[in-house]
Amino acid sequence: MASISEDDFVIVIGIRRRISGFETLVKALPKDRTLLITDQTGIKYKPLAAHTLVCPMNNDRPLDSYAVPMALISYLSNSIFDYLGKQAVESSESVAKVYSQLGEIE
């Protein structure tokens, strides 16, 4: 958070079992440049973000399906990647190179 600049847009995800201090975290972010992705239990945090996307969860089951939020995150990530074009490709290649150097991924 210390390096968030005026050019950054923050996406924060808080679904069901959020970390303790989640509200404090969201309050510390630049409200006008924050997107909150949450389920119906996180609607109370809506005033803390400029934009909120609510992904309905079937909370009546012991194991929720995270298919909806994962599909949304995939869509947003791919859309941003496409929008950034060459810059995104270069950044992705840089990350892949570091992973390779560190041997973190098989």
Containing structural domain, residue 49:
1-59
Q: What pLDDT was estimated at residue 25?
A: 95
6 and 49, same domain (yes or no): yes
25 and 55, same domain (yes or no): yes
54 and 103, same domain (yes or no): no
53 and 99, same domain (yes or no): no
For residues 45 and 38, the answer to whether their CB atoms sit within 8 Å is yes
Instruction: Go through the chain and tell me how many residues it has.
Output: 106
Q: What pLDDT was estimated at residue 63?
A: 67
What Å distances lie between residue 94 and 13, 26, 29, 98, CA to CA? 25, 29, 27, 6
- Overall number of domains in the chain: 2
Q: What is the pTM of this model?
A: 0.79
- Rounded mean pLDDT of the chain? 90
Give the C-alpha separation, 103 to 106, whole Å: 7
pLDDT tens column, 66-100 = 888 899 999 999 999 999 999 999 999 999 898 88
49 and 70, same domain (yes or no): no
